[in-house]
Amino acid sequence: MFDSHSFSTKKKKKSYFYNKKLTLNIKILGSNSASPAHGRHPSSQMLELDNSFYMIDCGEGTQFRLIENHLSYQKIEAIFISHLHGDHYLGLIGLLTTMSMNNREKKLDIIAPKGLKEIVDVQCLYSKTILRFPIEFHVIDTLSNQKIWENELMEVFSIPLVHKIETSGFLFKEKPKKRNIIKEKIQLLNIAVEDIIAIKNGADFTDKNGQLHSYESLTYQPHIPKIYAYCSDTEYSEAIIPIVSEIDLLYHEATFMDVHKARAAETKHSTSVQAATIAQKSNVKNLLIGHYSSRYENLDGLLDEAKGVFINTKLALEGDWYSV
197 and 251 together in one domain: no
64 and 100 together in one domain: yes
On whether residue 93 sits in a domain, the answer given is yes
On whether residue 18 sits in a domain, the answer given is no
14 has a pLDDT exceeding 60: no
206 and 78 together in one domain: no
7 and 58 together in one domain: yes
20 pLDDT band, cuts 50/70/90, is very low
**CATH code of the domain containing 114:** 3.60.15.10
φ, ψ dihedrals at 279, nearest 5°: -60, -45
93 and 211 together in one domain: no
Burial call 162-184: b when 16+ CB within 10 Å, e when fewer: ebeebbbbbbbbbeeeebebeee
145 and 289 together in one domain: yes
Please report the pLDDT score of residue 4 as a whole number.
63
In terms of residue numbers, what domain contains 155? Answer: 3-12+23-177+223-323
Q: How many residues does the chain have?
A: 324
Positions marked active-site: 87
On whether residue 151 sits in a domain, the answer given is yes
115 and 186 together in one domain: no
Q: How many domains does the chain have?
A: 2
- Distance in angstroms (rounded) separating the CA atoms of residues 12 and 14: 6
pTM: 0.90
71 and 197 together in one domain: no
The secondary structure of 196-211 as a DSSP string is HHHHHTT--EE-TTS-
Residue 131: CB atoms within 10 Å: 15
Bridge-based pairing of strands 227-231 and 168-174 is antiparallel
On whether residue 294 sits in a domain, the answer given is yes
316 and 199 together in one domain: no
Q: 27-41, 195-209, 224-238, 250-264 — which is least confidently predicted?
A: 195-209
Please report the pLDDT score of residue 230 as a whole number.
98
On whether residue 17 sits in a domain, the answer given is no
189 and 277 together in one domain: no
230 and 216 together in one domain: no
